[in-house]
Structure 1
Amino acid sequence: MVDVKKDTASDSALALDLIERIFFGYRDFVGIADEALIKTGYGRAHHRVLHFVDRNPGLTVGELLTILKVTKQGVARVLRTLVEDGMIEVRPGEHDRREKRLTVTAAGHALASELSRLQSARIEAALAPLPAGAREIVGAFLAGLVDEKERAAVLRRIEAGRV
C-alpha cells in the first residue's frame, strides 16, 4: 500500500526545491542583463519591451501589453524612453492609422542582441553538461509553466520569432 502522506510530502519538497531553483536561476539569468543595462540607465522593463519588439517587428502596442500582461500605464514611460532614445520607432498601422506599430532601430536591435547573447551563453552553459535531448525537455518544462489557456498562442509566437 502506498503511503499517501509520504508521497504528498515528497511532491511538496520537490515543488519547493524546483521553485527555489527557478527563483535563483531567474535571479541570475536576468541579473546578467541587468548588469549590462546599468550603463544605459535602462532596467528590466526596458529589456522586456526591447526583446519582444525586436523579436516581433511591427508589433502593436496592444499586442505588447498582452504579451507582458501589463496595462498601458505600466509600459507608457518605458516605451516613451525607448522611443526618445532612438531604440524603438512607432509607426502608424498600414490599414488603421490609429494603430501604433513598434519596430526597433539599429541601436535597439544591437542592444537587444547583446542582451540575448549574454543570456544565451548562460543557457548554453547550463545545458552543456546535460544529456542529449535535454534542450527539448527543458523547453517542454518551461512551456508547461505557461498558463494552459495561453500556452498554444505563446508557443506559436515563439516559433514565429525564429524566422
Structure 2
Amino acid sequence: MTYLLEIIADEAIAGNDAIFLRELGYSIREVRVLRIVDDNPGITFVEIWEKSGLERSLTSRILQKLIGDGLLLRTSSGTDARKYHLSTTDKGQELRQRGRVMSDVLEALLLDPFPAEDRERLFEQIERLGRWVRSEEYRAALDGFVAPDAITGV
C-alpha cells in the first residue's frame, strides 16, 4: 500500500507541477512553502522544514527564491542573530490565493472518479492515516518492531 500511495503522490505532483509552473510561475513545492509561511506568520526555517516534509537544502533554496522574488519577508530574531522569522508580503498572499484555487481545481480533477461522499470519506481516512504515521505511538511501534519468524527464517 505504501508503494501505491507513493506512486499516486508522485504522479499527481509531477502532472500538476507543470501546470503550476505554467500558470503561476512557481512549483507546487514553492507554493506549499509559501502557504506554510502564510498560515504561520513569524515561522522559522526549522519549523518550515519540519512542516513541509522537504529536504533541508531544497527548503533553503525555495525560501531564498521566494524572498528574492518579494513574496516573503525575512526579519531577524531579536535574540539570536542566526535565526530569522518569515512572513508573506501582499504579493505572496496574492500568489498563495491563486495557488489555492489552482490546487482545488486540480484536486477535483484527481478525485473525479469518486462521488462526493466517497471523496469526503477518502480525505478523512487519509488525514487519519497521516496523523497516525506522525504520531509518537507509531514511532514507538516501529522502534519496538521485531520481525516475525516467518520473515527472519528463525
TM-score by length of 2: 0.65
Q: Do the aligned residues in 1 keep the contact of 2:24 with 2:99 (CA within 8 Å)?
A: no
Counterpart of 2:145 in structure 1 is none
Deviating more after overlay: 82-91 vs 47-56? 47-56
Q: Which of residues 28, 39, 42 is equivalent to 1:55? A: 39
Q: Do the aligned residues in 1 keep the contact of 2:20 with 2:28 (CA within 8 Å)?
A: no
CA distance in 2, matches of 1:151, 1:23: 23
CA distance in 2, matches of 1:86, 1:116: 19
* 1:75 matched to 2:66: no
Counterpart of 1:100 in structure 2 is 84
Counterpart of 1:118 in structure 2 is 102
Counterpart of 2:144 in structure 1 is none
Two-structure CA RMSD over aligned residues (Å) = 3.4
Q: What pairs with 1:1-163 in structure 2 (closer than 5 Å)?
A: 15=1, 19=4, 23-24=7-8, 27-28=11-12, 31-38=15-22, 41-93=25-77, 98-124=82-108, 126=111, 130-132=115-117, 134-135=119-120, 137-146=121-130, 148=132, 150-151=134-135
Structure 2 unaligned runs (5+)? 137-154
TM-score by length of 1: 0.62
Q: Do the aligned residues in 1 keep the contact of 2:24 with 2:95 (CA within 8 Å)?
A: no
Secondary structure of 2:125's match?
helix
Which amino acid counterpart does residue 67 of structure 1 have in structure 2? K
Deviating more after overlay: 116-125 vs 37-46? 37-46
CA distance in 2, matches of 1:114, 1:33: 14
Structure 1 unaligned runs (5+)? 1-14, 153-163
Superposition deviation, residue 106 in structure 1: 1.2
Number of residue pairs the alignment of both structures matches: 135
CA distance in 2, matches of 1:57, 1:128: 37
Q: Do the aligned residues in 2 keep the contact of 1:86 with 1:107 (CA within 8 Å)?
A: yes
CA distance in 2, matches of 1:122, 1:99: 36
Superposition deviation, residue 143 in structure 1: 1.8
